[in-house]
Structure 1
């Protein structure tokens, strides 16, 4: 049974364990609480709190997720007390001497992180804000100051915004959680960058990935297990198309949960995997769900509930529910909800999954044939302002009082200043604006005929806390128009005979052309006598002669150009 206690004003959860004692201090703050222009501040605070501890003789770790930050340790009671007491002390009095070093460590950590198939899902669903920020680098690190960190810690790392959980017999002696007073912070409200769902986008991975948002409930978590079994049977066992077929179910803290599914594919099998994946979704959507899959999934969950240390195993998720205010079920209550899940409940969840579905398809594939609409990659309108042409002849940039637009042959990209999540600024003048809807507009001064006042307008309009200074680029990394670098043409030198030829040609054209112009007008205004039809032939010959006399003028002009 999980006990509810209090340690220095921090809600504390205690459950017995037969294994090594372990504990975690979890705060209700994560990447979703940040902004893109200051992304990385929570992760940096986590590192600063752990940095002075050095290499411990027992397990210690920290992690920053979308809405939670946790400090975890395993060891003796004395070790746990020393670790958590030190972490709280460092959060209250930040070891800022390590600030620059930890920034570099975080940059290295990001650069060495491998790409995952699901990395881009958040930005396509949520945009460049709240839950979508996990798709972006920690661009805010460079500008963060000591005052920024102190203010962030004072707001989020407080005793009212924390939960301590301990798997062990008792609260370790000597444990002190010296955290400042504050308030419990609600989870952020989820945004959306999708005008319509179900939707799809083309990803850079070979995998097919489904992302849905469903109501948080036991039936939805069971559905994730049933979907995984169906994908495994259909795409791996029967068709032999995929090796990895997995699903995940992660509560968001606001009464909803993210439900994901993935199936990998060889390059030449991507179309077949996509088709099989969609077929599985369609089968579940119409209610063709195998009772055996439901029974097997529930049995697996009941096996977990039957382990001897189930209360200790539930502590981390139990603590998260305490922080977000979501209900915590007892083991018997959860077991009863499992038994109540039937095929009709799963059919209902399948409808929620498809209604909110975002599908990532590989390569050049599409999913409109399956009823999915393409997620937007362009804006619906452009701003009013001054238009600057491209130096390559295609596209134009428009800078106005409300925002910036790029007018391209394939559509419009618009970032309004009040919807700009971040603007990356390079010393050479390049600017990259990222809208809250994840639309990206890149401006290279070398590629547009910009007025000298154009870039200062951007810098003045975008708020300072959304501007990110980027390192200088090597000259060869700065793009140049395609015409740049070509050797200049040799100027044309006029030959001695060109002027006389031009003069003679012009005089001849004027005299001959003028004569036959008058002759033609006379023929048109008088009646032709019988036998004088040959005069019209003379008119034709005269005009042909005029054209021939004008040829030197045309040819010499073309030669000069």
Structure 2
């Protein structure tokens, strides 16, 4: 027998300054289960938290009774231990292919929180955890599901009374779509929002086939090309597409990826692809274990007020999907699209607008270098641009004992304050700390090497990143060519000096002198190019994290 207890609470219900509280409570609840002869697990997702087990009826009763008891009275003496375990778990967790897109789409709240680590763990208190359990883990906010012939005898589920909690309304950090932002060099990722339907799953399958065929089979510039469909819990869903980038091929993969999206936009969708995806979907609905596998999804649909469809109802809807349905769904996805492009590239040429990396305005106040501290917030100025975090819209303030502060606004715009760079006086820092006390997370002292220092007089390393691999290669080539050219100049000088006419042919000397000057000048230019490349590309002074 398999059973699960699913609650309508997850990462999207937290705040950035309490990020990790649901996962922490889940760990505390399961601690008391210890070692058993039956399988059990807990999971904290974006919109739901589940406790599942497999075993005999007595095992299931014991497990679920224990879960409910721990939710009534969490073992808060384990708080520090479980906090440490969560940090270790985070260190070993790999990032998802679309890790950054929620942050850029939604900002640093609700659905954007899944892009952030569990930054709130250090500040969570026993009272915080207890209130979280009392608010969210209640009878009215839970669904029990069981795969078996009957409910286990003696199951009671003594949960608190409460209310059903709807998913939050999604925020937005994108003024216009389709938009793009710069990611790392190893991937191109796209997502878009559409109304939830069976057609969305079909669309994801077709996008995956198109990307795989174009980027891997035909061009050979990607190894993995995939797409998936994920319900958001509010009647809408996200369709995400991903392709990795072969070394040295970011331009080709980005161009090929955008070409695939452009073909789908104009309705170039093959009936054969639709038939193949539909057949694959129907095959997945066959088998005796399908009904069991659908139970967790049914529980989530009940919690979020979404339709609960049987396998046969889904099969019927699959068979009814047409090419026109798929095209209409893609237009909806594309119109809300967000594209992650490799660093150093853009998508303006394809009709995408750059997602904002700066704020629309700056606050007024006292200025300390490029930092402005005012009564309503702080701004980091860089020429005509600025990054601003208004105090009342600050999602979190990460604070270090040395005076360093990192403020992240609801729109995910970040302002970093470093007294070693900006000469912020103690009273200004106290003003910031007083305004942001409710969302401040105090972190351990940093290693001295991690504290930014003022630029050296030459300023060679100030405000710059390490040079990219391409720049290092280019600099190496420039230096080698410079050596060759300068050596040629030296050889030419030696030849002229040793073999020129003793009568000092003026015409010959003029020509040889010109050649010599050109060679030395070219060598010096190449040395300059190499040095410039090694300086690295300029870092954005103000940006979203």
Pairwise same-fold verdict (TM > 0.5): yes
* CA deviation after TM superposition for structure 1 residue 349, in Å: 0.8
Per the alignment, in what secondary structure is the counterpart of residue 267 of structure 1? coil
Distance 2:284 2:424 in 1: 64
* CA deviation after TM superposition for structure 1 residue 363, in Å: 2.6
Query: Residue 26 and residue 434 in structure 1: after superposition, are their counterparts in 2 closer, same or farther (change >3 A)?
Result: same
Q: Which deviates more from structure 2 when the two are superposed, residues 114-123 or residues 104-113? A: 114-123
Equivalent position to 2:445, from 448, 452, 472: 472
Please identify the structure whose Cα radius of gyration is greater: 1
Structure 2 gap ranges (5+): 460-545
**Counterpart in the other structure of 2:306:** 326
Equivalent position to 2:408, from 434, 449, 452: 434
* CA deviation after TM superposition for structure 1 residue 484, in Å: 8.2
Measured against aligned partners, the alpha-carbon deviations of 1:479-535 in whole angstroms (never above 9, x if no partner) come to 22124899xxxxxxxxxxxxxxxxxxxxxxxxxxxxxxxxxxxxxxxxxxxxxxxxx
* CA deviation after TM superposition for structure 1 residue 195, in Å: 0.7
Measured against aligned partners, the alpha-carbon deviations of 1:449-503 in whole angstroms (never above 9, x if no partner) come to 32331101101112x33111011112332222124899xxxxxxxxxxxxxxxxx
**Counterpart in the other structure of 1:459:** 433
Measured against aligned partners, the alpha-carbon deviations of 1:111-156 in whole angstroms (never above 9, x if no partner) come to 2222333211111111100111111121211111111111110110
Q: Does residue 1:447 correspond to 2:435, yes or no?
A: no
Are the aligned partners of 1:285 and 1:354 in contact in 2 as well (CA < 8 Å)?
yes
Distance 1:205 1:39 in 2: 28
Aligned length: 459
Structure 1 gap ranges (5+): 1-20, 390-395, 487-561
Distance 1:402 1:153 in 2: 34
Equivalent position to 1:357, from 324, 328, 337: 337
Measured against aligned partners, the alpha-carbon deviations of 1:20-65 in whole angstroms (never above 9, x if no partner) come to x211110000010000011111000000000111122221111111
Are the aligned partners of 1:206 and 1:270 in contact in 2 as well (CA < 8 Å)?
yes
**Counterpart in the other structure of 2:28:** 48
Distance 1:343 1:365 in 2: 33
Q: Report the aligned-residue RMSD.
A: 1.5
Are the aligned partners of 2:185 and 2:245 in contact in 1 as well (CA < 8 Å)?
no
**Counterpart in the other structure of 1:13:** none
Query: Equivalences for 1:507-546 in 2 at 5 Å?
Result: none
* CA deviation after TM superposition for structure 1 residue 179, in Å: 0.6
Query: Residue 116 and residue 303 in structure 1: after superposition, are their counterparts in 2 closer, same or farther (change >3 A)?
Result: closer
* CA deviation after TM superposition for structure 1 residue 410, in Å: 6.8
TM-score by length of 2: 0.82
Equivalent position to 1:197, from 164, 177, 183: 177
Equivalent position to 1:254, from 234, 248, 251: 234
Distance 2:456 2:343 in 1: 32
Query: Equivalences for 1:177-256 in 2 at 5 Å?
Result: 177-256=157-236
Equivalent position to 2:372, from 398, 401, 404: 398
Q: Does residue 1:161 correspond to 2:110, yes or no?
A: no
**Counterpart in the other structure of 2:539:** none
Distance 2:78 2:284 in 1: 43
Distance 2:377 2:324 in 1: 50
* CA deviation after TM superposition for structure 1 residue 78, in Å: 2.0
Query: Equivalences for 1:292-303 in 2 at 5 Å?
Result: 292-303=272-283
* CA deviation after TM superposition for structure 1 residue 205, in Å: 4.8
Distance 1:483 1:361 in 2: 34
**Counterpart in the other structure of 1:12:** none
Per the alignment, in what secondary structure is the counterpart of residue 174 of structure 2? coil
Are the aligned partners of 1:223 and 1:346 in contact in 2 as well (CA < 8 Å)?
yes
Are the aligned partners of 2:98 and 2:240 in contact in 1 as well (CA < 8 Å)?
no
Equivalent position to 2:328, from 348, 363, 379: 348
Distance 2:335 2:400 in 1: 42
Measured against aligned partners, the alpha-carbon deviations of 1:325-378 in whole angstroms (never above 9, x if no partner) come to 111123332222112110111110110111011111113111111111111111
Equivalent position to 2:151, from 164, 171, 189: 171
Are the aligned partners of 1:118 and 1:209 in contact in 2 as well (CA < 8 Å)?
yes
